[in-house]
Chain A
Amino acid sequence: MVDRIANPWGERTPYGAGESWPAREDEFLGGDLSPADVDAWVQSASVLHSDGDAMDIAVKDGRIAGVRGRAVDRINHGRLDPKDMYGWQANNSPDRLTRPLVRENGLLVPSDWDTAMGRIVERSKQLRDGPGGWGHFGFYTSGQLFLEEYYALAVIGKAGLGTPHMDGNTRLCTATAASALKATFGTDGQPGSYTDVDHCDAIALWGHNVAETQTVLWMRMLDRRRGPNPPAMLAVDPRTTPVAREADLHLAVRAGTNLALMNGLLRQIIRNGWYDEQYVRAHTIGFDELCATVDGYPPDRVADICDVKAADVERAAELLGTSQRLLSTVLQGFYQSNQATAAACQVNNLHLLRGMLGVPGAGIYQMNGQPTAQNTRETGADGDLSGLRNWGNPHHIQQLAGLWNVDPLTIPHWSPPTHAMQIWRYAEQGSIKLLWITATNPAVTLPDLARIRRILAQEGLFVVVQDLFLTETAQFADVVLPGATWGEKLGTLTNADRTVHISEKAVDPPGKARADLDIFLDYARRMNFQDRDGRPLIPWTGPEEVFEAWKKCSAGRPCDYTGITYDKLRRGSGIQWPCTDAAPDGTERLYTDGRFNTDPEYCETYGQDLTTGAEFTADEYRAKEPGGRAFLHAADYQPSPEVPDGDYPLLLTTGRTVYQFHTRTKTGRAPQLNDAAPDVWVELNPADAGELGIAEGDLVSVTSPRGTLQAPARIGGVRTGVVFVPFHYGYFDVDPADRVPRAANELTITAWDPVSKQPIFKVAAVRVAKVPQGRK
């Protein structure tokens, strides 16, 4: 078998345009186990990235013993990401939390569920009393739970407590995808399908290091590249990622300048007549304004702003403008950078201009980072409203009030749900007094960690952390709740091309750990949330009941699940929403007829100004008479909130390695993955390193106005003027006595995109210096 650490993508199975991607069944079993020894194979899908790869979990003697890709599945055709092949071992890790913990005299001590939940409920009831009680609650959730868990949480927040302060760490990963889709097409919902890789003749990767973040999707692209009629490939990334090395053309733009590049590319496409005039006229609004804006970005100016060659801008435009079936995919290089939503909208614009949407091979993936980020958006456990509804539309609020049988005024809809960074700000100011964090690790992932630690430690903030391990964040908690995870609980999850999978319970969770859904349902019971008629607001007892309730909420909305049942998911292997009586097998592509979800009664937003985030009213929106057409939004380039200066002359960009996920709570506990990437490093361009007298392996310090970290240098892999640090590394596996700052987010700036409110992790000004030997 191929060593999937040395070669994360495995063997090539080349195929040509229009052919079916050959299956390749990846499998890994722990110890000396052979397939014949396995007691049972249990259906599931990945929770270590957003690709949605389907797999079966091997069970031996009541424990998870391995995984095997599902060859029948439309997403992965049997392949597995190395993180999935090895990551399951973390489930069996000896340091799993097995009992609730509560803080006594400053220390976390083992406890029981009654005590732990009793404390949360007691504090909740105190806070809820009195006017404005709702405003003391903040929920910071994850992109790693199941749909049913998010929906239960959304109903607790929106109809039980009536608080708008609920968001996910999905704000850090997928908020811009949602914002860009809403802004352009009227509602969230990925237009494309992964099968577009099978049909395309060009692939553009916009700040998307897919080779390391969604390896199986990359395998599909590589297999097309090795087959007959391979697609052309364009990569935009300040780093020389595996994607950039494979691409025919790599634009290593200066971090923070994506929008200038996009404006320049669209200008070339329009000026050269490479756009579909008929499609633009019939299906879009805003062409003249778009032309007026992008006209100010000739190749020379773009070259100047982005620090790339003007000729390469022209070549890239030609690659995009002359393709016949163009596939685009966008991720953190755009989403976590300056002017995120505006830049992501320009990718949508590219496809609208070229009329390349809704047909095989012509697709857009506004990707998700985390495995179930899509579900937080659908259910409204983040800054969205359940069922992709519009908080500004009173009819949508009425629908939810009817569904939940509560007063419409209970549902907070006076402004958009509070975004994550604002929730943390309210906690910092002391108006949020209970912060409930589920399945995520903000003490490593949020910008400016010194500030986040200060907030978590603040007197008067009651912190609940629900997780598998005693994470960096859990150490600040007043109550720690041990969660069951993937393979230990039942639920569904949806990936970045709208494919819904079921994930079965294969084994029991360790000790007293509980499914996140059971914890939420228990809280709802103890809080005695009631509907308008005094009946329990949340009467459900298990995931399938919640799923059936969710289907009612999704009915008639873009993410319509009404044609899906657990039974149907078990009989097949992945169904794409919308799935209804009219489309019982799901829907492969959206907008096949060029009609978009922009009708004022249906849309999810009335629109925002891309530069400030100013929100337009229903009347202003109606006056545009969208009539099913998509919006061509445009904005001018503006420099990032922080740019290099004399004190901090370099730009920091943070990112990922193929071997780790998030803050390594799971992948850091899988020996193969941990050994492959055990510690942080700093990537420097040879020219910058030379000037600073830094050689490969030297210990260097990286310092921003917020903080500093130390790590060994790797020379190469990144453009001049830019420094790269992977964000995965925190402190859980470092002895406190030996702790030297190493988390990338010690350095990052608290700033966010005005529309999506996604924090800017890709642009911070830093200086780098060699650490004299012996001075660690």
Chain B
Amino acid sequence: MHLAHYLGLLHKAQLNLADAFRQVADAHQEEPDIHHLCRQQAQRCEEHAERLRPFARRYAQDAPDEPDRLHSELFRGTRTGGIGLLRDLQDLYLMVCECDICWTVVGQAARGVRDQDLIQVVERCEGETAIQLTWLRSRMKQAAPQALVVAD
């Protein structure tokens, strides 16, 4: 059973995302909403990772060796300025997308093994992940015209 690998992938992706949210929060302190909400969402990602841990343990013993090229590297540091903010938010967006699809995959597996506890965790966390996507999209839509058309 390979579920443990995907739980590990998601766990790592959530922690990477938490770290990226924190870096973006710190790099854009002069955008108070970005600063505050990114820190808030970093915490949320860590909570997600924490909720996954017991399931990673539960399924670890049944897992064969981890396959190659499981983890991806989506974030390579922050940028500055109006367009830099847009690009940083876009990086976050892609990282949240990765988590989002992982939740879907893990949710399907949870149904396959009839794990009611895991299904509950997935339902809660995938909803919160969807909000992260919606928020990033809203904020980028707001910022794009000024950054791309107006700013010098």
Residues of A within 8 A of B (CB): 131-132, 134-136, 414-416, 418, 421-422, 425-426, 428-431, 609, 611-616, 638, 641, 749-752, 754
Contacts and interface: CB of A to CB of B under 8 A. Distances in A.
A176 to B, nearest CB: 15
Contacts of A421: 32
A414 B146 contact: no
A426 B146 CA distance: 8
A416 B142 contact: yes
20 contacts: A132-B149, A134-B150, A135-B145, A135-B149, A136-B150, A414-B141, A415-B141, A415-B145, A425-B31, A426-B146, A609-B135, A612-B41, A612-B132, A614-B137, A615-B138, A616-B134, A641-B36, A749-B32, A751-B36, A754-B33
B36 A431 contact: no
Interface of B: 30-33, 36-37, 40-41, 82, 131-132, 134-135, 137-138, 141-142, 145-146, 149-152
Nearest to A642: B36
A131 B149 contact: yes
A752 B152 contact: no
A615 B36 CA distance: 18
Contacts of A749: 32
Q: Interface residues of B: mostly helix, strand, loop or mixed?
A: helix
B82 A614 contact: no
A73 to B, nearest CB: 42
Given A751-B32, A754-B33, A613 B138 contact: yes
A275 B132 CA distance: 33
A608 to B, nearest CB: 8
Given A132-B150, A612-B40, A614-B137, 18 more contacts: A132-B145, A135-B146, A135-B150, A416-B142, A425-B31, A430-B151, A431-B146, A611-B40, A612-B37, A612-B41, A613-B37, A613-B138, A614-B134, A614-B135, A615-B134, A615-B138, A751-B33, A754-B33
Contacts of A752: 32-33
A204 to B, nearest CB: 30
Given A611-B131, A638-B40, A431 B141 contact: no
A125 to B, nearest CB: 17
Given A609-B134, A609-B135, A750 B32 contact: yes
A136 B152 CA distance: 10
Q: Interface residues of A: mostly helix, strand, loop or mixed?
A: loop
A131 to B, nearest CB: 6
Nearest to B151: A431
A754 B33 CA distance: 7
A132 B145 CA distance: 8
A612 B132 CA distance: 8
A616 B137 CA distance: 10
Contact of B131 (A134, A609, A638): A609
A25 B137 CA distance: 56
A735 B41 CA distance: 47
Contacts of B135: 609, 612-614
A428 B149 CA distance: 17
Contacts of B31: 425
Given A135-B145, A425-B31, A613-B138, A754 B37 contact: yes
A338 to B, nearest CB: 11
Contacts of B137: 614
Contact of A415 (B37, B132, B134, B142): B142
A567 to B, nearest CB: 43
A113 B82 CA distance: 37
Contacts of B149: 131-132, 135
A751 B141 CA distance: 20
A422 B31 CA distance: 9
A612 B138 CA distance: 10
A750 B132 CA distance: 23
A416 B146 CA distance: 13
Contacts of A422: 142
Contact of B32 (A429, A612, A613, A641): A641
A132 B148 CA distance: 9
A749 to B, nearest CB: 8
The 9 tightest CB contacts between A and B, nearest first, are A135-B150, A614-B135, A614-B134, A132-B149, A612-B135, A132-B150, A431-B151, A615-B138, A415-B142
A74 to B, nearest CB: 41
A415 B143 CA distance: 9
B82 A429 contact: yes
A664 B30 CA distance: 30
A426 B31 CA distance: 10
Nearest to A753: B33
Nearest to A416: B142
